[in-house]
Chains A and B, each alone.
Chain A
Amino acid sequence: MSLRGFTRRRLLGAAGAGTALVGAGVAGGYLAGSAAEPDPPAQAIVPFRGVHQAGIITPAQDRLHFVALDVTATGPILRQAVVALLKRWTTAAERMTAGAEAAPGGAVNRNPAAPPTDTGEALDLPAASLTLTFGVGGSLLDKLGIPRPAALADLPPFQRDQLDPALSGGDLCIQACADDPQVAVHAVRNLVRMGFGTTAVRWSQLGFGRTSSTSTTQQTHRNLFGFKDGTNNLKAEDTAALDEHVWAAPTDGAAWMAGGTYLVARRIRMHVETWDRTSLTEQESLTGRTKGTGAPMGATDEFAPVDLGSPLIADDAHIRLASASSLGGVRILRRGYNFVDGSDGAGHLDAGLFFLAFMRDPQRQFVPMQSALARHDRMMEYIEHTGSAVFACPAGLGDGAYWGQSLLEA
């Protein structure tokens, strides 16, 4: 392959490339409460291979395109077709995260009689910190005849769930995050295209304005209720906590998941119209934080520890119900995004929070948390869960490895 035509734009040299290195503070540093957060350079390239998959503890990018796919291939060719596709995907994903086109030749430099190998809408755009994170659903393991790890069991029904089957589940998922929405969409679109005949889109979700910070270098962003979301999130810098709450260990019951993590995705519709008619007092009371600073009720600093003994935090406040101490120390790494999917045809916006969280065992972490919230959280009056899925995201890839190799070649 000639290097000509490899990059869809000139890649920055090592010097000056704002490569997002987990744990290494991004230039600019972080000052608690500092108003201005340095924007990552648009050209930033997040390494595709590593100990863990990118896009989990990578400082959360601003934009999301998440897709869940079903494997449509059946019968004896199923496994072979999936392996072939995952290899193609890995090659393309590695190229695209480096800012290159999905395949050599790409959008314009090939045989004019053939459809271009790259769809082209990201020509001239930088890598924009694109990360592509891959996961498998329990349903795929069932199809392949591989026993599911206990952690990958289907979630139980929670109170008030309004799940739409067409927005739930999936055999495979790809989470594309980038600082430019077009870059994320381009990546998903090209991977979906490669899958035709082997996979088909089950559902997909666009998201914007990350609602969680996953690094101490990031300011906490706000969800569509206007509240800071993810203040007490696990942070990339806290490796001990990540090992305890996020990364699956070899002894957890599935060797192929060692170093991986489980992803819970919930599409949470927010009734923003009714919320917006709610008084500030009520909003703050049922959240448990002040709207302005994000500090817990009664405190002034966003990062003040939550004093669950404080009478200022209501018994059914969201912050209390979801806190680690009321859940026996359970914590998760949240990485959600806001969404507005047009309108609902009934005069309201179809808006909400696309909740994404990574954890070591959804059954021991997400399930108790969500069942407590579903039963007691007063915020439930304003939200409904319309989509749900759990995926196993294996460890990061070493050189030459492909997505899902630890599972399919175990």
Chain B
Amino acid sequence: MLGNALIGLREGLEASLVVSILVAFLVQTDRRRELPRVWLGVGAAIAVSIGVVLVLTLTEQALTFEAQEAFGGGLSIIAVGFVTWMIFWMRKAARSISSELRGGLEKAIAMGPVAVVVMAALAVGREGLETAIFFFAAVQAAGSTTGPLIGFLIGIAVSVVIAYLIYRGALSLNMGRFFSVTGVLLVFVAAGILAYGVHDLQEAGILPGLYTLAFDVSDAVPADSWYGTLLKGVFNFSPQTTVLEAVVWVAYVAVVLTLFLRPVRRAVPPRSDAPAASAV
């Protein structure tokens, strides 16, 4: 029961965290009208994941292991691209607010409707396939024991609650802080997704170095503990991290965080001589 609940929690968090920040972002910038697109993307990802699993089940086919890993890994790395994009919206937004140019905010962070849909779909879809397969296994087991299914659903529910709390917490921040805090949070989330994608590709044999570990703290942070689950769900932290994973993680954080936090240079000099207040 607990084990299955933790799996549900982990998979649920991985999928819902980015979505909750995306929703908070849209709400904060007064663009609730775009929310249906988020749900459309989420729904599409869930539908496709379940559809693929259904098709495979009905045709008695199984995805090869490499295909599954390459799929999850590939989508994760594409998702990182989108989240990175979002991080820089945050930055732009933060800067626009600090300059009190609220009117320009809308324009500065305009994002296409397509981007919203794809973003939401990727956030959910990259783990959707694995989750759907797991869900089916749980449903099949329900004939003899309903424990796994119930545990899994509890885990998903908890993850949705946590995501909602993060969303509420994010909304309680004032605008400027909201952008900088969620931006920084997203940098670490995206770095985790990237490392996760790299690990998948290593397992598929597409990238080398699966057994060259940077560190192994699986004794201190067991993967099946609640805190291990939370770390994995939010930051994709893996107790056994390969050198390549660690390198891309550090490189990503170093580059993106620096870019995110660097003071903005204006093309148009401010009218006052006072330097622009940094939002961070």
Contacts and interface: CB of A to CB of B under 8 A. Distances in A.
Interface in B197-221: 211-212
Nearest to A1: B212
Interface size of B as a range: under 10
4 contacts: A1-B212, A2-B211, A2-B212, A4-B211
Contacts of A1: 212
A1 B211 CA distance: 8
A306 to B, nearest CB: 60
A324 B212 CA distance: 57
Contacts of B211: 2, 4
Contacts of B212: 1-2
Interface in A1-19: 1-2, 4
A3 to B, nearest CB: 8
B240 to A, nearest CB: 14
Nearest to A2: B211
Interface of A: 1-2, 4
A279 B211 CA distance: 69
A2 B211 CA distance: 6
Those 4 A-B pairs whose CB atoms lie nearest each other, nearest first = A2-B211, A2-B212, A1-B212, A4-B211
B84 to A, nearest CB: 32
Nearest to A4: B211
Interface in B205-244: 211-212
Nearest to A3: B211
A4 B211 CA distance: 10
A283 to B, nearest CB: 63
A2 B212 CA distance: 7
Contacts of A4: 211
A2 B243 CA distance: 13
A1 B212 CA distance: 7
B73 to A, nearest CB: 21
Interface string B235-261: 000000000000000000000000000
Nearest to B208: A1
A391 B212 CA distance: 41
A2 B209 CA distance: 8
A1 B209 CA distance: 7
B273 to A, nearest CB: 56
A343 to B, nearest CB: 53
B202 to A, nearest CB: 12
B91 to A, nearest CB: 41
A50 to B, nearest CB: 28
A223 B153 CA distance: 84
A4 B213 CA distance: 13
Nearest to B211: A2
A127 B212 CA distance: 26
Contacts of A2: 211-212
A105 to B, nearest CB: 14
A4 B212 CA distance: 11
Interface string B132-145: 00000000000000
Interface string B181-211: 0000000000000000000000000000001
A19 B115 CA distance: 65
A4 B210 CA distance: 13
A5 to B, nearest CB: 11
A241 B164 CA distance: 82
B32 to A, nearest CB: 53
A409 B212 CA distance: 32
A81 B212 CA distance: 31
B258 to A, nearest CB: 32
A192 B210 CA distance: 33
A279 to B, nearest CB: 69
A1 B213 CA distance: 11
A2 B213 CA distance: 10
